[in-house]
Structure 1
Amino acid sequence: MIEILITVLVLAIGILGVASTQVVSLQMNSQSQSRSQAVLLAEDLLDRIRANSDNPGDYALAQDDAQGADGGGCATSFVPANATVAANDIAAWENSLACLLPEAERTVAVDPLTNVVTVTIDWNQNDQAMNPVVVRTQI
């Protein structure tokens, strides 16, 4: 009888170990997905700036929360209607950022002398030791 109890105890400990491994795996997968989304969003904005390379300074944004559609968060049927291409690009990009990475903060720095653009995206992560995504390129 004691052998059965010991076997059940060992089996239960093994199952708990497998379950905890699965939980950690899901957390890492979620963090990886968020990081990939941030990189893709940064590259998307840089592509928009390259397409409008005559005015890279118009894309500079101070560090702030992503506002989304008209400052109201994520809008699934968002159509920007601003006066300039840069303003439309920023509005559409911020809406995508608000939809894909809620509570994200973004900074876009443009060096007018070298045309180096730095896009920084930070979001609420469970692991505070992870660094924000920073993508830098010369336009």
Structure 2
Amino acid sequence: MERTLVLLKPDCVERRLIGRILGRFEDKGLNIIAMKLIRITPDLAKQHYAEHVSKPFYPGLESFITAAPVVALVLEGLEAISVVRGILGATSGLKAEAGTIRGDFSSSRQMNLVHASDGPEAAKREIELYFQPEEVLDYKPTLTPWMRADDE
């Protein structure tokens, strides 16, 4: 099983798309093992986007991500990182395929609704930024045997 951090960004929350987006992940068989509504502080934004802090676009990114609440969640499943990124579509909603979250709900390069970890190291680091170990629940939903084979 693989875990990934997902943030439903301020534009997603403000547009009241939380339930529709969560449904996409659940429909795919991913398990939500941690979730909370939070306000990202400028300090947390700097930690999360550390590689971008010195870039010219960073002030706008920080202003956006701290402007309204976000829903932070940890998803778990087979190949969760690549599966989630596929569900999201291309970073720019203008280039994302129809049927993906960004392709269906975003028409912007910047307002792209959802952040997802881009690899296992990033997922581990990002999950630790947003959740204490006791907030991530290890459980197996009763429908799991109907979603994938025992040997997967």
Calculate the TM-score normalised by the size of structure 2.
0.21
Q: Which has the larger radius of gyration?
A: 1
Calculate the TM-score normalised by the size of structure 1.
0.23
**Bigger relative CO (Cα 8 Å, ≥ 6 apart):** 2
